[in-house]
């Protein structure tokens, strides 16, 4: 390789003309004699142009030269860079190996900026481990001090910055954000070089987005893109910045621009696997919102193949396809493997929605409580809004429509202020259903009309189709119809499974389901829902429901006599006005009927007062008494039905 080309490449490198420097210096990889400083310039240029392979190759050659010449501090500097780049490739073992090599090279040397960078990488690894945040904070403090002691402003600023983001992760948001913003001043005033500036920009935007502080994230994202453009032809940080910029565009409703930005990011980040995966995840979310399920699925699968979790997008895609059970399983598995609180906060709103769609009240309530705790921990207004949305959806699922309306209205108001059009439109749909179920059909229609207008403007095809289905089903103008509801449930089913085993349980539940369905049909019952080991059915009258319940209990008793065993089933019956919304029966009365079923004992049929007063005199009913029902303000009057 000619000295002229090397000199030309080095001049381009000094001017941060990365593409020219990369082209001029790339032949160094095949040259027999190479100056390590020139190889380092090639490595940096290759990094900015998005070629991680050439970056690592050049750094490895420079390391060998420094190491062979006994230049331990220079070799250690390259070892730390190589450790970071292998970590980017999701190769933690190789990364730790290079960190150990750097540590050995520095053990007999006085403190240097390289030692600060090594401690910083150790802090990043510690922060990703169980209970490692305190260790990470201590290491970041050491980094800041090493920077001061050695007079290296970049190391000092990185230590300050990392203390900020680790403090936020530990729950000290006020201190953490103050430290991060302090480090940002060093970026905007030009106190640090482009590599450090890019790190700080990316981390700042990521932390703000994780806390759902989208206003601040958008502000820093815009500034970061301007900074990237000033760096010239540089693929590394611009590609990463484009991911954040795409997310902000998606949230603000500029989906076409967001898709273009995410696609460009994926192209620019070819060698940066984790970040490329993030670009595909963002593409998946945009395409899911647009209703392009196949393209969304392809993007999420690509992200997964690159080593990144496709959650919550893949689970939401399953939910949109009508497979709530699969969606729930996917997102619950993802949450089980995540300890980082900010990452959990990002998944919890979707997990609540999915759990409720799968009729799983326990995880929905648990995730809602956790989200509320995290909102306070990170002092995030928008996380508080999402926690309120979770509570609102739970209230709707439980039939507490008066509570639900108030909570859904607050969510809509908050999201309007936050300027999140898609989330606002979806929240209006929730509010519309709650209003209609509570008897305010006209107000519900107003909310649906507003949601439809927003979906049309955004191009949210799948959501528009769902709205059309709701309208066709009369969800916007429902009139309640009085029906008799029955809830059945096998008592102590979990213990029973443990006692008889999975195979026997499968046979038992198949017989149970088949038997009860036949009895429903014989007594004019309509099966509404089947969840696990119980049924929700409706009847024209309390008499029909009572006859059905008696036949169920007598059939189970006879089976017990004939075979020696039959499960104990509890049954609750209630008569009241119910509504149909989005293909489901909803309303306070449905929730009340479910609670009456839960209050019954094994082999018992429990009737509400409303069902008792409509019952034919031929049925024998015990004394009425009051029970407390979860989610119901007043005690519920019930009575047992004599079926013996």
pLDDT of residue 118: 96
Q: Distance of CA 144 to CAs 138, 384, 621, Å? A: 10, 34, 77
Q: Establish if 444 belongs to a structural domain.
A: yes
383 within 8 A of 375, measured Cβ to Cβ: yes
Share of the chain above pLDDT 70, in %: 94
Under 8 Å between Cβ of 38 and 25: yes
Token reading at 240: 């990463």
Q: Which of 208, 226, 247 is the last residue of a domain?
A: 247
3-state SS record for 159-204: HHHHHHHHHHHCCCHHHHHHHHHHHHHHHHCCCCCHHHHHHHHHHH
Residues 502 and 461 in one domain: no
Bridge partners for 640 per DSSP: 606
* Residue 311 confidence (pLDDT): 95
Please tell me whether residues 502 and 469 are part of one structural domain: no
**Mean pLDDT score, 310-333:** 93
Mean pLDDT of 245-273: 86
More reliable by pLDDT, 580 or 202: 202
Res 631: pLDDT: 63
Instruction: Report pLDDT for 302.
Output: 95
Query: What is the β-pairing status of strands 605-608 and 569-581?
Result: parallel
Q: What is the CA radius of gyration of the chain?
A: 31
Of 204, 224, 247, which residue is a domain's last?
247
pTM for this one? 0.67
Number of domains present in the structure of the chain: 3
- The 3-state DSSP class for residue 627 equals strand
**Both tokens assigned to 443:** 């107000």
Bridge partner list, 578: 481
For residue 253, being part of any structural domain is answered with no
| Shared domain check, 323 and 429 | yes
Hey, how many other C-beta atoms are within 10 angstroms of the C-beta on 432?
28
State how far the Cα of 486 lies from the Cα of 551, in Å rounded to an integer.
13
> What is the structure's pLDDT at 233?
45
Determine the Cα–Cα distance for residues 115 and 80; give it in Å rounded to an integer. Answer: 9
Which among 212-216, 581-585, 623-627 has the top mean pLDDT?
623-627
Q: Is the pLDDT of residue 148 over 90?
A: yes
Residues 415 and 387 in one domain: yes
**For residue range 161-208, what is the model confidence (pLDDT) as tens digits?**
999 999 998 889 899 999 999 998 998 888 988 888 888 888 888 888
Residue 169: which residues within 8 A CB-CB, separation 6 or more? 127, 133, 176, 340, 341, 342
**What are the φ/ψ torsions at residue 528 (nearest 5 degrees)?**
-100, -45
Q: Which residue has the higher pLDDT, 254 or 566?
A: 254
Mean pLDDT of 442-451: 89
Distance between CA atoms of 501 and 164, rounded to whole angstroms? Answer: 52
| Of 290-299, 463-472, 579-588, minimum mean pLDDT range | 579-588
555 and 445 within one domain? no
**Residue 317 pLDDT > 50:** yes
> What CATH number did the domain enclosing 360 receive?
1.25.40.10
Whether the ω angle into residue 312 lies within 30 degrees of 0, i.e. cis, is yes
Residue from 133, 137, 94, 134 nearest 119 by CA: 137
Mutual angle of helices 214-230 and 173-188, in 10-degree steps: 20
Q: What is the pLDDT at residue 1? A: 63
Alpha-carbon dihedral sign for residues 594, 427, 300, 342:
negative
Residues 6+ apart with CB under 8 A from 598: 487, 489, 570, 572, 629
Region of 524 please: left (phi>0), alpha (psi -120 to 50) or beta.
Answer: left
Q: Based on the domain organization, do 239 and 213 belong to the same domain?
A: yes
- Given 247, 267, 289, which residue is the final one in a domain? 247
Nearest in space to 279 (alpha carbons), one of 244, 331, 327, 254 = 244
Instruction: Say whether both 431 and 320 belong to one domain.
Output: yes
Tell me the mean pLDDT in the region 514-541. 91
Contact 210, 342 (CB under 8 A): yes
In this structure, the number of other CB atoms found within 10 A of the CB of residue 601 comes to 11
Angle at the Cα of 277 from the Cα atoms of 460 and 219, rounded to 5 degrees: 65
Mean pLDDT of 96-114: 95
336 and 462 share one domain: yes
Residue 234 predicted with pLDDT over 60: no
Round the average pLDDT of the chain to a whole number and report it. 88
Q: Note whether 328 and 442 are same-domain residues.
A: yes
DSSP state of 641: B
Considering the domain boundaries, does residue 493 fall inside one? Answer: yes
pLDDT digits (tens, 9 = 90+) for 475-491: 444 456 788 999 999 88
* Residue 520 pLDDT exceeds 60: yes
**pLDDT the model gives residue 238:** 59
525 and 573, same structural domain?
Answer: yes
Band (470; pLDDT cuts 50, 70, 90): low
pLDDT at 471: 64
Phi and psi for 151 in degrees, rounded to 5?
70, 20
Domain of 60? 3-247
300 vs 226, higher pLDDT: 300
What pLDDT is attached to residue 633?
64
pLDDT at 473 exceeding the cut of 60: no
Same domain, 85 and 219: yes
Segment 19-72, tens digit of pLDDT: 899 999 999 998 877 899 999 999 999 988 878 899 999 999 999 999 999 999
If we measure between CA atoms, which residue out of 48, 50, 22, 43 comes closest to residue 269?
Answer: 50
Residues 222 and 331 grouped into a single domain: no
* Residue range 237-250: mean pLDDT, rounded: 78
Q: Which pLDDT tens digit goes with each residue over 537-554? A: 999 999 999 999 999 999
Residue 45 in contact with residue 14, Cβ under 8 Å? no
Tokens of 34: 């190479």
Q: What are phi and psi of 234, to 5 degrees?
A: -135, 115
Please report, for the domain that includes residue 538, its CATH number: 3.30.70.1230
Q: Is residue 503 part of a domain?
A: yes
At 551 the three-state DSSP class reads: helix
Residue 235 predicted with pLDDT over 70: no
* pLDDT score of 612: 94
């Amino acid at each position: 390789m000619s000295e002229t080309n090397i000199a030309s490449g080095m001049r381009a490198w000094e001017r941060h003309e990365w593409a020219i420097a990369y082209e001029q210096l790339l032949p160094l990889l095949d040259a027999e004699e190479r100056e390590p400083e020139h190889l380092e310039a090639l490595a940096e240029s290759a990094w900015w142009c998005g070629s991680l392979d050439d970056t690592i190759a050049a750094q490895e050659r420079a390391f060998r030269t420094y190491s062979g010449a006994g230049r331990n501090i220079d070799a250690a500097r390259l070892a730390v860079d190589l450790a970071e780049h292998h970590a980017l490739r999701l190769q933690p073992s190789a990364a730790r190996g290079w960190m150990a090599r750097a540590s050995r090279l520095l053990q007999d040397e006085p403190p240097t900026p390289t030692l600060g960078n090594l401690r910083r990488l150790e802090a990043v690894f510690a922060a990703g481990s169980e209970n490692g945040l305190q260790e990470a904070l201590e290491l970041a403090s050491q980094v800041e001090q090493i920077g001061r002691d050695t007079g290296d402003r970049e190391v000092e600023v990185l230590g300050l910055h990392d203390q900020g983001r680790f403090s936020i992760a530990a729950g000290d948001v006020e201190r953490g954000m103050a430290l991060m913003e302090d480090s940002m001043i060093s970026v905007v005033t030009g106190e640090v070089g482009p590599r450090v500036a890019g790190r700080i920009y990316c981390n700042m935007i990521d932390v703000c987005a994780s806390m759902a502080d989208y206003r601040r994230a958008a502000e820093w994202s815009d500034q970061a893109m301007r900074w990237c453009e000033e760096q010239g032809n540089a693929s590394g940080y611009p590609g990463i910045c484009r991911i954040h910029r795409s997310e902000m565009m998606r949230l603000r409703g500029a989906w076409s621009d967001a898709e273009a930005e995410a696609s460009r990011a994926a192209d620019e980040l070819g060698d940066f696997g984790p970040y490329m995966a993030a670009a595909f995840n963002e593409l998946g979310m945009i395409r899911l919102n647009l209703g392009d399920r196949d393209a969304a699925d392809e993007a999420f699968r690509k992200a997964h193949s690159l080593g990144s979790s496709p959650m919550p997008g893949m689970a939401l895609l399953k939910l949109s396809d009508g497979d709530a059970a699969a969606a729930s399983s996917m997102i619950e598995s993802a949450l089980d493997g995540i300890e980082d609180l900010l990452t959990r906060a990002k998944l919890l709103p979707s997990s609540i929605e999915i759990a409720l769609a799968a009729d799983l009240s326990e995880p929905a309530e648990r995730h809602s409580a956790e989200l509320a705790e995290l909102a306070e921990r990170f002092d995030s207004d928008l996380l508080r809004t999402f926690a309120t949305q979770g509570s609102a959806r739970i209230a709707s699922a439980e039939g507490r429509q008066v509570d639900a309306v108030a909570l859904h209205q607050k969510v809509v108001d908050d999201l309007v202020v936050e300027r999140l059009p898609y989330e606002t439109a979806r929240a209006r749909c929730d509010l519309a259903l709650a209003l209609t179920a509570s008897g305010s059909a006209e107000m519900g229609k107003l909310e649906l009309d507003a949601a439809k207008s927003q979906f049309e403007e955004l191009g949210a095809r799948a959501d528009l189709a769902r709205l059309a289905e709701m309208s066709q089903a009369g969800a916007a103008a429902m009139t309640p119809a009085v029906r008799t509801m029955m809830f059945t449930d096998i008592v102590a089913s979990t213990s029973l499974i443990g006692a008889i085993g999975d195979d026997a349980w499968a046979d038992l539940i198949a017989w149970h389901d088949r038997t009860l369905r036949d009895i429903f049909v014989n007594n004019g019952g309509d099966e509404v829902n089947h969840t696990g080991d119980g049924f929700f059915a409706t009847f024209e009258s309390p008499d029909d429901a009572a006859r059905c319940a008696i036949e169920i209990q007598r059939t189970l008793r006879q089976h017990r006599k004939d075979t020696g065993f039959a499960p104990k089933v509890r049954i609750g019956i209630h008569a009241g006005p119910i509504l149909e919304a989005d293909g489901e029966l909803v309303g306070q009365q449905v929730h009340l009927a479910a609670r009456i079923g839960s209050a019954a004992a094994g082999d018992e049929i429990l009737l509400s007062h409303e069902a008792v007063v409509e019952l034919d005199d031929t049925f024998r009913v015990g004394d009425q008494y009051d029970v407390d029902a979860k989610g119901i303000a007043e005690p519920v009057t019930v009575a047992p039905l004599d079926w013996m």
